[in-house]
Homo-oligomer: A and B are copies of this chain.
Amino acid sequence: MKLPVCFPLLSLSRGISFEQLRRELAEFAKERDWDQFHSPRNLALALVGEVGELCECFQWKGEVAEGLPGWSDKHKTALQQEMADVLLYLIRLSHKCHIDLPKVALNKLAVNAAKYPASLVRGSSRTHLPQLYGT
């Protein structure tokens, strides 16, 4: 039996919420008395550091296909960990900025859907669009 074409390549774990990660990060910092270091700009700079490490995972590889075929487990694990770090700092930053990250993300998707109507932009190279999602 063939899988239907629309079969999702990946379903993200359902039992882990944004709020759980936010709360665990807050407890993590509190237990270590690290809240004092978590000002918004410190966190923004730390986020950039992690994005840099994420990019290093891709830097000498030339084009990379979906699903990372041919990558060693070591390289896959490294990329996973950098993505995790980016997410954790982003959630921590949103907490310290009092921004409801999942809500604004869902809202942004609706804004983007209105901005780029499927009927108008289908298949057009986004090099000709100002940006993919957003300003």
Contacts and interface: CB of A to CB of B under 8 A. Distances in A.
Interface in A62-80: 62-68, 75-76, 78-80
A81 B135 contact: yes
A95 B60 CA distance: 17
Copies of this protein, total: 4
A78 B134 CA distance: 10
Given A49-B55, A105-B88, A133-B88, A68 B9 contact: no
Name the residue among A44, A98, A101, A118 with the largest chain B CB count within 10 angstroms: A44
A109 B132 CA distance: 30
Interface of A: 8-14, 16-26, 28, 31-34, 36-37, 39-42, 44-56, 58-68, 75-76, 78-91, 93-109, 112-113, 116, 118, 121-123, 125-127, 131-135
